[in-house]
Amino acid sequence: MARPTVDFWYEFASTYSYPAAFRVEEVAERFGVAVRWRVFALGPVFKAEGLPADSPFNWQAAKGRYMWRDVARLCADLDLAFAPPVPFPQPSLLAARVALLGEDGGWGIDFAKAVFAAEFGDGEQIGERAVIAGILERLGLDAGPILDAATGAGNKARLRAVTEEARALGIFGAPDFVTADGELFWGNDRMEAAFRWALDHAENAPRGAPGD
Amino acid sequence: MARPTVDFWYEFASTYSYPAAFRVEEVAERFGVAVRWRVFALGPVFKAEGLPADSPFNWQAAKGRYMWRDVARLCADLDLAFAPPVPFPQPSLLAARVALLGEDGGWGIDFAKAVFAAEFGDGEQIGERAVIAGILERLGLDAGPILDAATGAGNKARLRAVTEEARALGIFGAPDFVTADGELFWGNDRMEAAFRWALDHAENAPRGAPGD
């Protein structure tokens, strides 16, 4: 029987996407579901909702204070290095555009995890071209052509389209898990609920998913 | 050894406080922690944070649509009747003032669960004095004097003070779980994490908790 596939929507500026990225593969394996990583941009989603484009953790002070403590606790549980990036949020568009290319190239997941580790573990400035180039090169990739393609008009338009797709699914924050039958689960802490839903509703999933 | 005590902060207008209220006792028993129910008012907290006093689920449309679906899923899992109250949010101050008296009287938890069931299960208007009186009477209580005391200046001031206490703990939403050593966990879905924290840090808890 096919493993159900769940889409994992993430945004590089999103703090809770970081622990999610570093546990999603293990949890998916345990549940027996396949995961498709989907990068998108949260800023345009906030803007379309009439909210400030800035992180809600900046314009909602008490919620922001809680988030830093909460993510630190979560990362400690996962033995994951964590330090709040400065500035926060980090400009994430360049990394998102590169990750989009990686989804085709088969290196998207490794790239995404390396970006998250650089940003939230090592305090690197992921908005800088040199930082992204360094990450690509450490993955054995040719950074120059990738960065050129990532920042070309076609790929920029593609990220906008993907972000529209996310909005159409009901996405308003990150990370998210969307099952084949369209159920949306928001938040690192709902990962397990999404996988359980996918298994319980597997008869609705399209055929041909990984694991056939 | 003393069972660690965790404070369960709830607000009657809060949708996620409803499933939390109906599973907190069973989960606490399973973990071996004691729970103290603490009612508070979220509106003044939003206001003090510079946010609209209205529910964030009303002024953030996509998040609101998600929340209704998510709470319906959670309640289905718990076999708990659920229908969105109209209007939402329900005026919750009267019920909160009464519940505060119930914390002293030993009937606070039964009253709170009855209010949540009336509001989210039966579509009742919990802002109406007659509805609250009916709930008190079904609990075998003398509604008139309780409602008079609840709406007296002293008890109103007490709810304001309790709400200030919640804010000082870092609370910005509901429900919440606060451990004896001051760790804040926000959301129905963090109940288990809070109880685990309380057990792991029990040596920091004050002596004399229930279960001694």
Q: Test A172 with B62 for CB contact under 8 angstroms.
A: yes
CB-nearest partner of B63 from A60, A65, A172: A172
> Which residues in chain B are closer than 8 Å to A170, comparing Cβ atoms?
62, 65-66
Q: Which residues contact B134 (CB under 8 A, 6 or more apart)?
A: B143
Residue B159 C-alpha from the chain's centroid? 13
Name the residue of chain B whose CA is nearest to A191's CA. B189
Find chain A residues with C-beta within 8 A of B69's C-beta. 184
Of A7-16, A25-34, B45-54, the least confident: B45-54
pLDDT of residue B203: 72
- Mean pLDDT, range A44-65, rounded to an integer: 92
Q: Is the pLDDT of residue B212 over 70?
A: no
Catalytic residues of B: 14
Confidence of residue A183 (pLDDT cuts 50, 70, 90): very high
Taking Cα atoms as reference points, which of B81, B113, B157, B119 lies closest to residue B10?
B113
Complex-level ipTM: 0.91
Subunit contact A69:B184, Cβ cutoff 8 A? yes
Convert A48-62 into a string of H (helix), E (strand) and C (coil). HCCCCCCCHHHHCHH
Residue of A nearest to B196 (CA): A77
Alpha carbon A7 to its chain centroid, in Å, reads: 10
**Rounded mean pLDDT of B165-192?**
98
Alpha carbons A184 and B9: distance in angstroms, whole number: 27
pLDDT of A203: 72
Within 8 A by CB and 6+ apart from A116, the residues are A12, A17, A18, A21, A22
Burial classification of residue B200, based on how many CB atoms lie within 10 Å of its CB (0-12 exposed, 13-18 middle, 19 or more buried): exposed
Res. A71: pLDDT tops 50: yes
**Per the CB < 8 Å rule, is B62 touching A69?**
no
Give the per-residue pLDDT at A1: 62
pLDDT average, residue stretch A152-181: 98
Task: Write down the mean pLDDT value for chain B.
Answer: 94
Work out the average pLDDT over A49-69.
93
Q: Which of B45, B46, B47, B73 to mutate to test the interface with A (most CBs of A within 10 A)?
A: B73
Considering only CB atoms, A62 lies closest to which of B49, B61, B66, namely B49
In this prediction, what percent of chain B has a pLDDT beyond 70? Answer: 95
Does the pLDDT of residue A166 top 50, yes or no?
yes
The pLDDT assigned to A53 comes to: 82
pLDDT tens digits for range B75-95: 999 999 999 999 999 999 999
CA distance readout (Å), A113 to A16, A39, A78, B2, B147:
13, 12, 14, 43, 57
Domains of chain B from N-terminus onward:
5-203 (3.40.30.10)
Q: What's the mean pLDDT when you consider all of chain A?
A: 94
Q: Is the pLDDT of residue A135 over 80?
A: yes
Under the banding of pLDDT at 50, 70 and 90, the label for residue A206 is low
More confident of the two residues B209 and A189: A189
What is the rounded distance in angstroms from the CA atom of residue B162 to the CA atom of residue A159? 47
Q: What is the pLDDT of residues B149-168, one digit of tens each?
A: 999 999 999 999 999 999 99
Q: Which phi and psi angles does A136 have, rounded to 5°?
A: -60, -45
Structure confidence at residue A204 (pLDDT)? 59
In chain B, what residues touch A49 (CB-CB under 8 Å)? 60-62
Average pLDDT of B183-211?
83
Say what the pLDDT of residue B206 is. Answer: 54
The per-residue pLDDT for range A76-85, each reduced to its tens digit, is 999 999 999 9
Asked if residues A8 and A211 have their Cβ atoms less than 8 Å apart, the reply is no
pLDDT at position B205 is 53
Residues of B with CB under 8 A from a CB of A: 45, 49, 51, 60-63, 65-66, 69-70, 73, 167, 170-173, 184-187, 189-190, 193
Contact between chains at A69 and B186 (C-beta distance less than 8 A):
no
How far A63 CA sits from the closest chain B CA (Å)? Answer: 6
Over residues A15-41, the mean pLDDT reads 98
**B210 pLDDT exceeds 50?**
no
pLDDT in tens, B87-133: 999 999 999 999 999 999 999 999 999 999 999 999 999 999 999 99
Catalytically active residues of A are: 14
Axis crossing angle, helix A191-200 with helix A17-31, rounded to the nearest 10: 30
